[in-house]
Structure 1
Amino acid sequence: MRYVRVFADDNGKSVFEDVEVEGTPTVTVVGVPPLLVSGPFQATSMTVVEQPSGGTPDWELHVAPRKQWLIVLAGRAAVTVSSGEKREFGPGSMLSFEDTEGEGHLSTPLTDDLSFAMFPHQAG
C-alpha cells in the first residue's frame, strides 16, 4: 500500500514523501481468502468534504489544521509544496497531511466534483 506524506522539514518547507507500507496476508472475515492488510492507522473521527456545485474560489497557501489522513473520493486535485513540486491526486489517493507549521502547501481543485474524507491522526 502506498500513500503520500506532506510534512514540513526542519526549515519549515512543505515536502512530499512517498511511503510504501507492506501488507501482511490476513483473514479479515471467515469466508474471505487472506487479503493484504496494512495498519492499523490510528484516527479519531471522519469528516466527508464536498466542493459546492459550481466550484470554489481559489484556495490559498495553508498549513494542515491538524495531522490528518485524506482519501480522495471523487474528482481530482493538485497539491503544490514549497519547492514548487506539484502532484495530482484522484479517487483512491491516500495522503497524510502533517505540515501543521511552516510555509504550508497549496491545494487546487481540478474538477467540480471534488470530494474527500478526512481522518484526524490520533494524538499520542
Structure 2
Amino acid sequence: MHYQLLFCDEAGESHWREVEVPLSEQVFAPPAQDILVSAPDAAQAMIWLRLEAGWNEPIHPTPKRQLLICLSGRIRVTASDGEARDFGPGDCWRMEDTSGKGHHTCVTGTGAFDCAIVQFD
C-alpha cells in the first residue's frame, strides 16, 4: 500500500515522493481474525470536496497538511519542480507543501472530481 507525497524543500520547491505504508498483522476488530493495519495517524477533520469538470486553479501551497482520497473523476497535479502525477479513483495524495511555491491542480476527466480529504492540522 502506498500514497503520493507532495512536499516542499528548503528552497521552496515542491517535489513528489511515493511513500510505502508499513502494515503489521494485528487484532483490529475482535473477534475477527488478525488483519494488516498501519500505525494510526491523528486527524483533526474530514471533508468532502468536488471539483467540477474544467477546474484549473493557479499554483498555490496547500492550506493544511492533508490526505486526499479520490472517489471518482481524474485530476493532474503538478509540483513546482514540473513533475506531474495523475490521480483517479482509489488514488491517495498526501499534501505537505504548506509553504513555498506549491502545486497546480486541474481536472482532466470529462466529469467532476469527487474526493474525501482528511486534515491533520
TM normalised by structure 2 equals 0.90
Q: Please report how far the alpha carbon of residue 33 of structure 1 lies from its aligned counterpart in structure 2 after TM superposition.
A: 2.6
Equivalent residue, structure 1, for 2:92: 94
Equivalent residue, structure 1, for 2:46: 46
Q: Please report how far the alpha carbon of residue 42 of structure 1 lies from its aligned counterpart in structure 2 after TM superposition.
A: 1.2
> Take 1:82 and 1:51, find their aligned partners in 2: how far apart are those partners?
21
Identity %: 34
> Take 1:57 and 1:86, find their aligned partners in 2: how far apart are those partners?
16
Residue by residue, what CA displacement relative to the aligned partner does 1:48-73 show, whole Å, maximum 9, x if unpaired? 01134xx2442111110111111111
Equivalent residue, structure 2, for 1:5: 5
Q: Which amino acid aligns with 1:21?
A: V
Gaps of 5+ in 2: none
1:74 aligns with 2:72: yes
Q: Please report how far the alpha carbon of residue 27 of structure 1 lies from its aligned counterpart in structure 2 after TM superposition.
A: 2.1
Mark the CA change 1:14 to 1:42 in structure 2 (over 3 Å): closer, same or farther: same
Counting strand residues as a fraction of each chain, which structure ranks higher?
A: 2
Equivalent residue, structure 1, for 2:115: 116
Residue by residue, what CA displacement relative to the aligned partner does 1:64-122 show, whole Å, maximum 9, x if unpaired? 01111111111111111122111111112112101111111011111223111111114
Task: Report SS of the residue matched to 2:93.
Answer: strand
Question: How many residue pairs were aligned?
Answer: 120
> Take 2:43 and 2:92, find their aligned partners in 1: how far apart are those partners?
14
| Moved beyond 3 Å, runs of 4+ | none
* Superposition CA RMSD, Å: 1.4
